Structure 1
């Protein structure tokens, strides 16, 4: 976080406080005056207000200066009018002549009280016409005011409830300390009468047990089926002729029923040839149902068989048809076309045997575990015991001490704190002992369930200094974002995608996007059609990241902010990637250049919007020469030098930098963009590098074409 803050230089003079900690007498001893001028007294600043709402103006007046007043925002004159978009501190110096300046004036702080816009969420975004809907606003410590596209609703409070007769767009503002925020993001409530759905069946005539896909179209709400099911698409497996109808539910409204769709079920033309009765073969106390199937069935085209506990094709299938006890069972055959014969009864009789083998030995119990679902975040795991042989009942155990809320063949388990801390749980399922103290034993199965893998991809997003340009007579601000995506895993990640929605960040507050440009490292691919608007928010596609590697993308946007309701913009990117094991990872960007700034190995717990604040639309002269508002000479490779950009070819630059007491600390008559924050004027200090302390400095830049720039800069290491 510290590193990210050091890389932002927003016009504000909080850093002046750092200078107040340093004794003026000490500084004067280290850096004596560069010449013998009589430094003028600092001006006295007064203002028309110290607290305003956003977009209000404040007039600042500097008195007591017999020379030229230079303000910290770059303006010159005894009085200026400012319209800060966020809380800002202003100071000034008095310049008697070039190189002869006063100390900094006492700071005049203008507090901008305008609150952030509320966040509005509807109870439902899709309702029936004239239904009642409730919208709730958060992120406002003051009073929430509601409005729709027709104007003010004359309603205040954290929620709004009312009837909506047609599709309506709602917004809210927050009033706090007599200041009103920008409107919230628009929330659209869709209101309509439900239409009758239309059913499309993948097949209208099937064999019993075959699958049919039913699709209901034309409903903008929820679809309810005549058999109690819900959903737009469903798969059914009817064993007899079945009819289906649907209705469309929208809020409290329901459409008329759709037309009937009938699925006809046909059976195989032939009957199954079976032996009607079976018995055991000693010493076994069980019978094999497959012995009842006659060879003529294969000749008649029967390819597979189903063993059932009752004469219905949808009945429970026999668990172990090769070793059944006495009773009546049913066999059905299926031909190559998928049609079943009618179930045919086979009666099994079990006779007594000398030295008989117990049924549980010829048909031992078996069990396996199938993992149905894992929701580690909610702490719920669902498992299924798959029984075989003579197994009938099961019991469950875990090594984590959690709670089984049900423990039959389907088990639902609530994680314990031990499970969560360890990240794995061992489950054991055992069948009941078939014969107590007899020779048979229970079946046992074990399975380890692990917590989902942590997020293994991260994204950071850094904003460069805004640049102002003129194109065809229109002034634009140019913003460049650097995205850094990092593979924190041990495998190569593919299909790396970065998305960025520019509408929510810029156009929603009135800024107009003039152009966008994307460039990437070689292992990422820029989306040539990216606009950042509507559905076209995919910035990077088809990227590849080796294990532990990083890659970069740069997004440059030109904006017209002349009609924007705010000059502070917040933006967040999203990265997605596919791991070699098939897992999909996603991360929201954090501000700066570190995707995992807390270094805990999980970038998912770091998410912070990237903010940029523009303090004004700059004058014409700054459109050709760009001078930074500060820099951070900390040898991290980022913004380590005071760099003047877009100088005319062949320009010679003279640079003088003064501390807050008007003392010259750096001077160059042919500046080459190489100042690293060290002093080359004044007495030597104890620091070997002559590094200047953090704070606010005043500079004078003169070009050989006669232009001169006098402003302030911030130095923060």
Structure 2
């Protein structure tokens, strides 16, 4: 025996050809993401592996899950489950025997949503080792699938389930016959009748034989027991229409070589092919901790199930039933017999019934032919018998009057009666007649006052008498104390004397209990409380206490407050009190506070009743700090933006109500701000000076050669510069004519702008070079270089000695020869030069000549 904890249970289990056990476990959760758990045990019930598989939500999870199924298919285990989705289609998962790994998971589309026809229910999953056979129901169709080891559908067929023409057939169970064919149990709730049936199919779902049996109530075969090639037994239950919780178990025998006589019916069985949609899914297994197994001692308990009735078969020949027996009983010793009389050849079992009360009769013998009873008490009862014959019920009953003598007439001992109470005298049941002293004839009599009471009874010609004396009971001492006084919602404890059987308090208003000796009361208005206590059975004592309720006016200091620095809050406890006690030590009715904190007060009336309240000053807000720009100067023609910060509202001396204002003139400016808490702050500033703007700081208009450059500079320094070219330097070097402007900012941050016009002028143009130079270091005529007037595009100047050697060469038109070669001054001599140059817009030219060095 395996014990599994944590709410799990085994819903299905199979034994493999190797002798191992595979168990399908369920959990307790319902309506959430579900897992399917498979446990493998060896032949000794030792756990081998356990895996769970997350397969999505399943509304039929936990103990209410759609029936799972396990079968062995090839070298794997096939697991069936139903995932909650739009149609609850069944899914098959094939697991490896070795480790529980998943070979494949496939979903077999079988529509049947809640708001459609009927949700698909998988009634059977079988396997012959090579193929699996699935039986189910979907959208008013019975579905039959033959599935290969790879999950592919080999054969798919269906038959009509519901039909309005009276041939409704619901396929409910499937099993293999001894010959290897398929047996399908059928529930057929047709118009006016209910039938069960059995259909034999080959393994491609072709109908071979069928048989249908009429049933007295609805029901189906949840289990089939194949016995031979022609005989199969069915087990199931019949529903009691009108009572969903009452069922009757039944046992059926089908024989394709016989018939059910009047209870049988021929029905067509039509099964046609259809195309089954299959989709591949993925599921990842998760390993769990193996459970522990332990040995348990199991025992069986004998149980007897009584045979109830014979329903139908080919030997029923019952047509009449009559019940015989006595109708008057006057004895508790004799045994009385009742017999059902049936027509000859009737073998139907008799179902007896009696509408007795507990203890009224004792059954001595009950069989199909005899019912023997002993009667224990008087009364009237029906005894009935019925049999089921020819698919219908036969019934009969008799009315029996029982009047048995009861020699134990006893009204009890003499007793006392408390004021306001009653006593019930009971002569007992089972007598034929009753006569009390006042002429009443009931078996019971209610006593309301002291006196002598007697009764005479008779039964079966015998008379019995008895009497009882009832006297008045003495008063009972009982006091729950004087009237009480309380304040407001104070509680009081009221105590009744002890020594009583029970207590009953009223009125039931703000009282802790109505049945205990001591109670706690909390009336809010003047109230009287009453108590009744039972000293002895039926005798009660009573008392009353009145509670006067003094009230003090409620104190309401208001809601918690916050205010701005410099303000205060006034809290008023209200009038109607003789004294006040504040947490601050003050004793006045009102309290003025200026600081953050918690403040409470107790007010006491002249009667000593107190009222309380507490209030908090949550926050004392700081005032807004406004800081305006205090610079007193403005540039002429410019403006300044004054910002008061971020607050709820603004009021400027100019009348503006925005957070900022723009000013451009001399004057005084002030702003008052209010923040989100209603606190006020202010600031002011003044403009006293208007500074002039910089002007006329560039030189007068000028001219430039086409090949020259020029630097433009202001005549005085400034803090910032911005030229028309984008330069921000004090000076600007230009090489083109045009209008140039400069914007400057002085030390007062005032800005000004000036411009200068530069025009083009005629200048010397061409190539010039001296014929001699004197490199003697006197800084006069110390270098030899050509003079080029114009914009030079290319330039190369070369000097040779008399032997044609290059002693100087440059491409920099501003670099000349100083009369040295390798740092050695040359003696006075004549040297040859060449110069190749090109002015912009002209072709390249080469000039040649000589030059004399004079020392």
* Greater RCO, 1 or 2 (C-alpha within 8 Å, sep 6+): 1
Give the number of the structure whose alpha-carbon radius of gyration is greater.
2
With the length of structure 2 as denominator, give the TM-score of the two structures: 0.19
| TM-score, scaled to structure 1 | 0.23
- Choose between structure 1 and 2: higher strand proportion: 2
More helix by share: 1
